[in-house]
Structure 1
Amino acid sequence: MSALYLAAVSDRPGAVRLLLAAGADPDRACGPESGDLPLCGASCGGHTEVVEALLAAGARPDLPEQFGFTALRWAVGLGHARTAGVLLAYGADPCRPGPEGEAPLLTAARRGSLATVRELLRHGAGARRHTVEKALGEARRLLETDLEQELRAGLHEMYGAEAAYEVVVRRDVVDGGETLTVELVRDGQSFAGRDQQTGHGAIATALEGELGVRAPYEELARRALRSGGPGLDNWRVAVEALAERGDEETRQAAAAWCASGDGARRAFGAEVAGALPLNPRSSIAGGA
């Protein structure tokens, strides 16, 4: 491994800048079969400052490493929205297919990172309607998926039956959304794990907005309540979408939720009601 690559993957921006100033080539591949690029290594770890230093020194944002992965594909696939944003700002192609032909927008929707989806859309990834439709379909599919069970199943397939280890599940708030992590622990030490962001409800709503599709009121409420809470992406984006409608039908739906026997639904209804304009707009046919 080159000194630049090791500094990049270790998130050492100062060392990276010194090496670049001394003449290190930001695009020099290293590792087995010379297949690893510093920009890809930094992007994989979400090391945004390192990524920016490499790009400023002339690293090519769309240069693929071994097996066809680009820096953007790594960042998008792992939900590193800030890193993806920097790559896109330096000219990474928001529509360049990944190694299996998948569009970055589809990969971001699958990952469940609303912030990454929005970065891609901001830089033109929504220009092709069929790409947005496919990403929306994936977000909707994952809304109906037991993500914890899916992560468990993948780990069990790789490491065998549960008898040899303990399964630990965590749900952490990261960048306004919830990240689900499933780890395998043996003798008090984690030896394997997988994680998944869970912003698929917010992503579906955002992509519907790109396509001019209005989800039913109850569907938006379901998305808000399924995986999230006040302030989290799934909840917040549903409130924003309903508030944007601002019509009498939305006001009536919010009032009904406020009268619900479920506390979370009441809280959601109250937040929607509080976000609505004082004077309702004319309703749009077929909006509910």
Structure 2
Amino acid sequence: MDAQLLRLVQAGDVKSADALLRAVPTDVLAGDEGSSLLRAAMVAGYTDVVESLLDAGVDPNRAWTDGADPVSWAADHGASRILQELLSSNLVPWRKQLPEDAARKALQIARPWLDVDPVLELRRRLGVVQEESVVVECERIPVTDWGLHTTRIRVTAADGRHAEVQTSHRAIVTYLEGRLGVPACPDELLARARFYADPLSCDWAESQTVLANQRDPEETFRWAANLVAHPSVDTRRFVTDVLHRLSFDERPFKTQALEVLRPRLRAEEDPIALDNVIGAFASYTGRGDLTDLLPHARHPNPEIRRRVAGELSAAIGELPQTAPRPDPPLIPFATPPDVVGTLIELASDVDDRTRANALLTLAESGIDTQEVRDLMVARLTDEYQDARVEAAVGLALRDDPQGVDALRQMGARARYDTHVGQRLYWADRILAHRVAERRMT
């Protein structure tokens, strides 16, 4: 086996590994060497490397030297995101296909973990009796680029032998039930999410996905609406998260949803649940009156202030992307003054992300007053890069020379594959379109 390729796989360097994989013959990748690389990537926990290996022709059916096959190993070890990647092979024509019963087999392997204590089960597998001492290590590990994580438990015996597992078997069971067309009832999905009660865990996210995407939305809405004032904080966090996810599509129960959410805006004290309520309320409202959100613009939790700064974009118009008339007047827009004042206040918040969110909302809005321009000029020297970028974008879109100059200077230093680079590129495209428009008139 290529030692360098193995090191890259174990390190999760997918870009460099891809470059070397292209030089490996297909029949080699489909054999023992590819199988060893796949195992290394799975044990290290790199889903993106697993994806690249499967795309390159590695066979997910091939058993490892100890007799385990990849799907069974992932189901047993609680590697939920990797298991989903393996099972997605049947949706990708150029990959090696899995047997039709692979998902059902994985479900049979994962389900027993829901009824055992993982530490006790690992002790049993190591053959360590209750009286013998072991070292138990718990580590939170990321499983996606967007923040999901799980916990890895490792039990080490006195003689150095160890066994480990990830605590995402509930996510695996939920995913596989949905895939097989037999999703659990909402109360059971809630119970699975609440077992570890972590809104960023795989278990929580998978229950959310099934409720929002695989069950009848009106039925799910009624179930969640009945629980929004539940005394359990974890329950309120979960059901408000469900209501928020349901709001991403146009729904016939929009009016009822707003009636349910409006009282929660005033009553909810938990920041996580409140964040969900604000997001859902704004999404169901759409282009409309969001003054109900304004009292939270001074919430002590910065996450809430960030949410308000972003969601108020739905309460204001968008800046025209076509070329303004020569020497245009300030653009009039019938936005409630308290909304504008709130955004200006948030654009000077002590929290970096809140300032950036408010400036982004103002930058893309139809609000063009001298006060807004002065604010953006002041923020060109903000200590937080994203805030400086949004200030420059906002001024440039208003054809302000200071903004255009700042945009060019920032663009010369920014990489395209970064958030800053993408924002600058977006604004530059609009400005280029305006220049072309002016030439044609």
TM-score (normalised: structure 2): 0.47
Which of 166, 174, 194 aligns to 2:142? It is 174
- Structure 1 gap segments, 5+ residues each: 14-41, 282-288
Task: Work out the percentage of aligned pairs sharing the same amino acid.
Answer: 30
Structure 1 position 248, deviation (Å): 3.0
Partner in structure 2 of residue 71 of structure 1: 37
For 1:133-282, what aligned pairs fall within 5 Å after superposition? 133-155=104-126, 157=128, 161-162=132-133, 167-175=135-143, 176-184=148-156, 193-244=162-213, 245-277=215-247, 278-279=251-252
CA contact (8 A) 2:197 2:234 kept: no
Asked if 1 retains the 8 angstrom alpha-carbon contact of 2:126 and 2:157, the reply is no
- Alpha-carbon spacing, 1:99–1:228, altered in 2? closer, same or farther (3 Å): farther
Per-residue deviation, 1:157:
2.7
Question: SS at 2:189's partner residue?
Answer: helix
> Which is greater in Rg?
2
CA contact (8 A) 1:171 1:180 kept: yes
Change (3 A) 1:155 1:97: closer
AA partner of residue 57 (structure 1): A
**Cα deviations by residue, 1:177-229 (Å, 9 ceiling, x for unpaired):** 3122335499xxx9664331222222222222322222111121122112351
Q: What is the DSSP-based 3-state SS (H/G/I as helix, E as strand, rest coil) of the residue aligned with 2:231?
A: coil
Distance 2:66 2:181 in 1: 29
Paired position in structure 2 for 1:117: 83
Q: Which structure carries more relative contact order (alpha carbon 8 Å, separation 6+)? A: 1
How many residue pairs get matched? 239
Distance 1:48 1:151 in 2: 31
Once residues 197 and 17 of structure 2 are traced to their aligned partners in structure 1, the CA distance between those partners, rounded to angstroms, is 31
Shift of 1:102: 4.9
Alignment check: 8 A CA contact 1:177 1:198 kept: no
Q: CA RMSD in A?
A: 3.5
Q: Which amino acid aligns with 2:224?
A: A
The residue correspondences of 1:2-81 to structure 2 (distance < 5 A) are: 5=3, 7-8=4-5, 11=7, 42=9, 46=12, 48=14, 51-58=17-24, 60-64=28-32, 70-76=36-42, 79-81=45-47
Q: CA separation in 2, counterparts of 1:209 and 1:265?
A: 22
Deviation at 1:100, TM superposition (A): 6.1
SS of match in other structure, 2:101: helix
Structure with more of its chain in helix, by fraction: 2
Partner residue, 2:269: none
Aligned residue in 1 for 2:101: 130
3-state SS of the aligned residue for 1:257? coil
Aligned to 1:83: 49
Listed as ranges, the gaps of 5+ residues in structure 2 are 91-95, 255-441
